[in-house]
Chain A
Amino acid sequence: MKSIRIALRNCGVINPERIQDYIAKDGYLALSKVIFEMSPDKVIETIKKSGLRGRGGGGFPTGLKWEITRKSAGDEKYIICNADEGDPGAFMDRSILEGDPHSVLEAMAIAGYAIGANHGVIYVRAEYPLAVNRLKASIEQAESLGLLGNKILGSDFSFNISLSLGAGAFVCGEETSLISSIEGNRGEPNVKPPFPAEKGLWEKPTSINNVETFANVCPIILNGDQWFASIGTEKSKGTKVFALAGKINNVGLIEVPMGTTLREIIYEVGGGIQGGKAFKAAQTGGPSGGCIPAQFLDLPIDYDSLASIGSMMGSGGLIIMDEDNCMVDIAKFYLEFTVDESCGKCTPCRIGNKRLFEKLQRITRGDGTLHTLDSMKELGDIVKDCSLCGLGQTAPNPVLSTLRYFYDEYKAHVVDKRCPSGVCASLITYSVDQEKCTGCTVCARNCPVPCISGERKMPHLIDQARCIKCGVCFDKCRFDAIVKK
């Protein structure tokens, strides 16, 4: 198995509720090394040279972000840990916070030392109660040992960390919305620039980094930038944690070097597709990402390669789809999510995505035309170009990428009025194969409407006018006599 555990190094290895376990695994060694042996500039230099990029999705170089925040003028500065993990099917950050909370706290203190901040805020979802409790307990433990708080280990450096709980709005994962939310305002984004590194929390220079980014910091300090830079691809260093979900045998959390191919992830680490079915697509980057078709199974995955094929790294949710998934339906699912989560501040995102969603609804109902497809492409591009924040700028990605790679499937929906995967209810019909039907009456007895009639031991018939296309008969028939078209 080709996995390397850096961010997840302690998850499942130590008891996260015992700081002694963490210290035994070199915990807080990086922080003390930084405080007593390195200057802030040296810390930033090390992170820059390591090539670490933001793991939240954007992939901005972490060292550069710290440097800009350090150079920004301000009497006070802040470190924020973005733990507002909201992508459907993603749980990398939760696992790190629950399995190794101290690694995040220590790295925040290191970041604070580097940029000249004395206060850190962790913005964490309230839906993660266990993570919240473990973070609270960990902060207390570290403070009681003098590893956080005032004058850490007797030095002149002080760093305090507090928690801020998010109320479950997806848009608050976007950094300017997150800051608004911490300040007690509505979670709505603001125009950038000024970037948070210049004017962030309470108008002070602020560095916002993702949980997984922080989890990579201590090993870099301890093992050196060259060690980290030796893992991964030319422009994407280190490893990436992925949450494998969907139609894959070994659902779970994996950490692999950047540059690992989808094929290796799915067939070696993930144990292949459920039921031995054919791979159809992988969805990366959650609602902001795109669907990657089978032709890119051997593409080494990193920030730039994913962007070049119309998807994105995102935070690391990786949903595997097989031949039974309808790509139009998948695009509709993700767009419904972003339409729901759009804050409504800017028009392209609020109205544009809604109209895009309605077009998808029309297609899955069987009311779409080829013109609908063209107009979706046009509208999607407009929403991408004109939206205020990352949510709107990426929301059309699932639609645009499926249109690009699965155009034939869209065409089948609008021209032939047929759903090839048999998912879109309005476009499929169930009928009884008169040859195969033995008249066992199982379908008729299980039909919820009920719309199946027929004598015992005689072929049955489905009343198409009353059929609700629930598929119960299809699942229950033991003789393969129900035909789905």
Chain B
Amino acid sequence: MNKIKNYEEFKKYQLECSASFDLTSSKTQNFMLYVGMATCGIAAGAKEVFDTLNSEIISKNIKNAKVTSTGCLGYCYAEPVIEVRSSTGISTFYAGVTPELAIKILDQHIIGGTPLEASILTRGDAL
């Protein structure tokens, strides 16, 4: 990436960044999976969950979802936490996610379209 040379260029770049960050404007991508990976999340097993999600998405050839890491949401008691942000503007937070549960979330929520009610911590508007 080249250096941004002035204020106008920065504002333009910001619009580009916002467009790619905003899932609701995406036509091809329906889900973004955020895995809480601060030190606390990693200690609770988030790295294994993150790796499982990534390899499953490749092996199951899932095209409409991506996985990314994020910081700490503050739900220490519920780690590892993953947030499924959908292009409809709804966020679903899953608590105590294991690699096995992560596979279930992919199969049922992402592919099947039905959230796993029993493991949901909370729901909200996508931030």
User: Which residues in A have some Cβ–Cβ distance to B below 8 Å?
Assistant: 8, 10-18, 20-21, 23-26, 28-29, 32, 36, 91, 94-95, 98-100, 128, 130-131, 144-147, 153-154, 249-255
- Whether A254 contacts B71 by the Cβ 8 Å rule is no
- B60 CB-CB contact with A under 8 Å: no
B107: min CB distance to chain A, Å: 24
Residue among B3, B22, B38 making CB contact with A94, cutoff 8 Å: B38
- Whether A28 contacts B10 by the Cβ 8 Å rule is yes
Chain A residues in 8 Å Cβ range of B14: 23-24, 26, 29
- Whether B39 contacts A12 by the Cβ 8 Å rule is no
- Whether A12 contacts B72 by the Cβ 8 Å rule is yes
- Whether A144 contacts B38 by the Cβ 8 Å rule is no
- Whether B72 contacts A13 by the Cβ 8 Å rule is no
Chain B, residues 37-76, CB within 8 Å of chain A (1/0): the string is 0111010000000000000000000000000111111111
Chain B, residues 17-48, CB within 8 Å of chain A (1/0): the string is 11011100000000000101011101000000
Interchain pairs with CB closer than 8 A, number = 110
- Whether B70 contacts A12 by the Cβ 8 Å rule is yes
- Whether B127 contacts A13 by the Cβ 8 Å rule is yes
A249 to B75, CA, bound (A): 11
Chain B residues in 8 Å Cβ range of A254: 74
- Whether A14 contacts B5 by the Cβ 8 Å rule is no
User: Which residues in B have some Cβ–Cβ distance to A below 8 Å?
Assistant: 1, 3-7, 9-10, 13-14, 17-18, 20-22, 34, 36, 38-40, 42, 68-78, 83, 127
Chain A residues in 8 Å Cβ range of B6: 153-154
- Whether B38 contacts A98 by the Cβ 8 Å rule is yes
A106 to B36, CA, bound (A): 23
- Whether B21 contacts A25 by the Cβ 8 Å rule is yes
Most buried by A among B21, B68, B72, B74: B74
- Whether A99 contacts B10 by the Cβ 8 Å rule is no
Residue among B21, B22, B71, B74 making CB contact with A252, cutoff 8 Å: B74
Closest to A248 in B: B77
A250 to B72, CA, bound (A): 14
- Whether A130 contacts B38 by the Cβ 8 Å rule is yes
Most buried by B among A23, A145, A255: A23
What are 25 A-B pairs at a CB distance below 8 A?
A11-B71, A12-B34, A12-B70, A14-B70, A23-B17, A24-B14, A24-B18, A24-B21, A28-B10, A36-B7, A95-B71, A98-B38, A98-B72, A130-B42, A144-B3, A146-B3, A147-B4, A153-B7, A153-B10, A154-B6, A252-B74, A252-B76, A253-B72, A253-B74, A253-B76
Chain A residues in 8 Å Cβ range of B38: 11, 94-95, 98-99, 130
Closest to A250 in B: B77
The answer to whether A98 and B39 touch (CB under 8 A), given A12-B83, A253-B74, is yes
Closest to B126 in A: A13
- Whether B4 contacts A20 by the Cβ 8 Å rule is no
Chain A residues in 8 Å Cβ range of B73: 11-12, 253
A255 to B75, CA, bound (A): 12
A251 to B77, CA, bound (A): 5
A18 to B9, CA, bound (A): 19
Chain B residues in 8 Å Cβ range of A95: 38, 40, 71-72, 74
- Give 7 new A-B contacts, CB below 8 A, not counting A153-B10, A154-B6: A12-B36, A15-B68, A16-B71, A130-B42, A131-B39, A250-B77, A253-B76
A151: min CB distance to chain B, Å: 9
- Whether B5 contacts A146 by the Cβ 8 Å rule is yes
Closest A-B pairs by Cβ, 9 of them:
A99-B71, A12-B73, A146-B3, A253-B74, A24-B21, A252-B76, A24-B17, A95-B72, A98-B38
- Whether B77 contacts A154 by the Cβ 8 Å rule is no
Chain B residues in 8 Å Cβ range of A28: 10
- Whether B74 contacts A11 by the Cβ 8 Å rule is yes
A252 to B69, CA, bound (A): 19
Chain B residues in 8 Å Cβ range of A99: 38, 70-72
- Whether A154 contacts B72 by the Cβ 8 Å rule is no
- Whether B13 contacts A23 by the Cβ 8 Å rule is yes
- Whether B42 contacts A145 by the Cβ 8 Å rule is no
A252 to B40, CA, bound (A): 10
- Whether B69 contacts A153 by the Cβ 8 Å rule is no
Chain B residues in 8 Å Cβ range of A24: 14, 17-18, 20-22
Residue among B4, B21, B22, B42 making CB contact with A153, cutoff 8 Å: B4
Most buried by B among A12, A13, A23, A95: A12
- Whether B5 contacts A15 by the Cβ 8 Å rule is no
Chain B residues in 8 Å Cβ range of A8: 74
Chain B residues in 8 Å Cβ range of A23: 13-14, 17-18
Closest to A254 in B: B74
Closest to A255 in B: B74
Residue among B5, B7, B18 making CB contact with A32, cutoff 8 Å: B7
A25 to B10, CA, bound (A): 13
The answer to whether A20 and B21 touch (CB under 8 A), given A12-B36, A13-B127, A94-B38, is yes
- Whether A145 contacts B3 by the Cβ 8 Å rule is yes
A344: min CB distance to chain B, Å: 31
The answer to whether A11 and B72 touch (CB under 8 A), given A28-B10, A98-B39, A130-B42, is yes
Chain A residues in 8 Å Cβ range of B74: 8, 11-12, 95, 252-255
- Whether A128 contacts B39 by the Cβ 8 Å rule is yes
- Whether B71 contacts A249 by the Cβ 8 Å rule is no
Most buried by B among A18, A98, A255: A98
Most buried by B among A13, A100, A144, A254: A13
